[in-house]
């Protein structure tokens, strides 16, 4: 694993993914334990609503609790995507643009493989699936285009309709993260 700029990491082996996933989970668990012990009831809710009591488990800085929640699960989906892409395309190395970095979430170093990733409640929440698939679909230079996502409430008919509309993009719904 090699750090490039700001919030970009290049992966070439699955072991790197596992190491980073473990670090994210362990850091998250430790920081949440600290947070839970810091207050109770309404004071706890007030704290997570109004204070910077969250912690980015990958880049290790204070953040809003809801932002921590969103980023943590997006990080985990991105790592699963890298694992999948390394299996499908073992001769490639992949750069992950974590967090709010611009560009595709996961891209091969030669930019022939691109992938967008997300975690949300449903695939149609905020039109996330359609917006992301359109983004990768519109890139005609990439030879392989992917969407990898995790949702707690799958909507297979919606996903199938999106697949039909944007042929040439492989959609991968994770069963767990």
pLDDT per residue as tens digits for the range 150-167: 999 999 999 999 999 999
- Specify the pLDDT at position 164: 95
- Specify the pLDDT at position 30: 93
| Neighbouring C-beta atoms of residue 153, cutoff 10 Å | 10
Stretch 70-83: mean pLDDT, rounded? 96
Sheet of strand 2-3: strand arrangement: 2-3, 8-11, 94-97, 106-108, 113-120, 144-151, 169-173
Average pLDDT, the chain: 93
Helices 41-50 and 14-38 sit at what angle, rounded to 10 degrees?
A: 130
- Specify the pLDDT at position 4: 45
Three-state helix/strand/coil letters over 139-162: CCCCCEEEEEEEECCCCHHHHHHH
Query: Residue 111: pLDDT above 80?
Result: yes
Give the tens place of pLDDT for each residue, 3-41: 444 688 999 999 999 999 999 999 999 999 999 898 899
Query: Residue 122: pLDDT above 90?
Result: yes
For the chain, the structural domain boundaries read 2-173
Query: Residue 127: pLDDT above 80?
Result: yes
pTM: 0.92
Stretch 86-95: mean pLDDT, rounded? 97
User: Closest Cα partner for 146 from 127, 132, 159?
Assistant: 132
């Amino acid at each position: 694993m090699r750090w490039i700029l700001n919030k970009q990491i290049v992966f070439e082996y699955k072991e790197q993914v596992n190491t980073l996933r473990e670090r994210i989970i362990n850091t998250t668990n430790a920081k949440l334990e600290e947070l839970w012990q810091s207050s109770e009831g309404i004071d706890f809710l007030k704290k997570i609503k109004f204070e910077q009591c969250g912690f980015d488990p990958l880049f290790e800085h204070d953040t809003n609790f809801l932002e921590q929640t969103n980023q943590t699960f997006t990080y985990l989906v991105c790592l699963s995507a890298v694992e999948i892409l390394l299996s499908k395309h073992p001769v490639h190395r992949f750069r992950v643009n974590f967090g709010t970095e611009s560009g595709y979430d996961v891209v091969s170093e030669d930019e022939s493989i691109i992938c967008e990733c997300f975690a949300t409640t449903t695939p149609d929440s905020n039109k996330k699936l359609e917006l992301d698939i359109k983004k990768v679909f519109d890139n005609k230079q990439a030879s392989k285009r992917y969407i990898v996502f995790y949702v707690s409430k799958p909507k297979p008919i919606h996903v199938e309709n999106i697949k039909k509309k944007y042929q040439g993009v492989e959609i991968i719904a994770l069963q767990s993260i």
